[in-house]
């Protein structure tokens, strides 16, 4: 079985119901999975009535030092627990956030997934933000200077989509959590992305670059035609409106007729 898993909170639940899930259903025959943070019971019941696996989690945001960092880390932990329970031959795509639109069928992608981790990157070298995350991650322990130099000459990696088999994802999670433990850092925004970057550079043969997902919609080689986004004249399978500047575009294109 194939799964596509994302997460949301109450604020962006409308995105899941009105955009994320319908576009996924048109292009995917597997099972959708949604991690629901502080979503009310009625909405969770409605989502389950649509044959979606819902993983509930509630936490007190007023006591959290870093709500975003904590949520991203908790999301990873909940995904890890879910993947441990699936069958050994299953494959999973983990998609970051609810402002995602699926434009074309995913069967072709899943049919190529083997025991590697599939990820995407931008045509943009690591910047000051990436290096600052690296420095925060290793603030309490010795930095790998060789790894730091590799990051400087590496393209920006995206944690917006990773995919693999149960076996490859479990291996990834073990290494991810081990790096958190060794770094002795509390959760912070960007932690998942910098850890993914480090692991790709440390174990390159265990990862494979994919073009199935895009999170940089302002690149010059991306065009919008007949209601769809293309890159180098090829339809982009998964759009992620991750940049703040792309949020109004997402709202105008996909939520314009929806009461918000």
Helix (H, G, I), strand (E, B) or coil at 4: strand
For residue 187, the tally of other CB atoms under 10 A from its CB is 19
Residues in CB range of 73: below 8 A, 6 or more apart? 180, 187, 191, 192
CATH number for domain 2-123+157-181+193-254, candidates 2.10.25.10, 3.90.550.10, 2.115.10.20, 3.20.19.10: 3.90.550.10
Task: Output the pTM of the full model.
Answer: 0.91
Q: What angle do CA 205, 147, 149 make, to 5 degrees?
A: 120
Burial 99-109 (b: 16+ CB within 10 A, else e): bbbbbbebeeb
Burial readout 32-45 (b: 16 or more C-beta within 10 A, e: otherwise):
bbbbbbbbeeebbe
H helical segments located in 19-162: 21-27, 41-49, 67-85, 107-112, 128-137, 145-152
Residue 259 has pLDDT above 50, yes or no: no
Mean predicted confidence (pLDDT) in 143-164: 89
68 confidence band (pLDDT: 50, 70, 90): low
User: Sorting pLDDT into bands at 50, 70 and 90, what band is 73?
Assistant: confident
CA gap 142, 93 in Å, rounded: 33
Beta strands in the chain (DSSP E): 2-9, 31-37, 53-57, 91-95, 100-102, 117-125, 155-165, 207-209, 213-214, 222-225, 228-231, 234-235, 238-240
Domain coordinates of the chain in residue numbers? 2-123+157-181+193-254
Distance separating alpha carbons of residues 88 and 253, to the nearest angstrom: 39
Supply the pLDDT for residue 148. 86
Q: Is the pLDDT of residue 47 over 90?
A: yes
């Amino acid at each position: 079985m194939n799964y596509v898993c994302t997460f949301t909170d109450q604020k962006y639940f409308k995105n899941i119901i009105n955009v994320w899930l319908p576009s996924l259903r048109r292009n995917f025959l597997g099972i959708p999975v949604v991690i629901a943070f502080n979503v009310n019971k009625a909405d969770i019941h409605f989502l389950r009535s649509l044959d979606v696996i819902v993983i509930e989690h509630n936490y007190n945001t007023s006591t959290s030092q870093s709500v975003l960092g904590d949520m991203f880390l908790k999301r990873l932990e909940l995904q890890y627990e879910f993947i441990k329970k699936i069958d050994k031959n299953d494959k999973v795509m983990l998609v970051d956030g609810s402002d995602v639109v699926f434009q074309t069928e995913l069967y072709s992608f899943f049919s190529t997934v083997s025991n590697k981790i599939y990820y995407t990157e931008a045509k943009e070298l690591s910047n000051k933000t990436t290096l600052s995350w690296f420095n925060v991650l290793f603030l309490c322990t010795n930095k790998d200077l060789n790894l730091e130099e590799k990051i400087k000459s590496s393209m920006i990696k995206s944690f917006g989509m990773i995919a693999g088999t149960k076996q490859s994802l479990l291996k990834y999670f073990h290494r991810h959590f081990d790096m958190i433990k060794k770094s002795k850092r509390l959760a912070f925004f960007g932690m998942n992305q910098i850890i993914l970057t480090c692991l790709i550079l440390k174990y390159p043969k265990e990862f494979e670059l994919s073009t199935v997902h895009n999170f940089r919609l302002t690149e010059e080689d991306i065009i919008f035609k007949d209601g769809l986004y293309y890159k180098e004249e090829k339809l982009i399978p998964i759009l992620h409106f991750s940049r703040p500047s792309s949020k109004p575009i997402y709202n105008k294109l996909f939520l314009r007729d929806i009461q918000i």
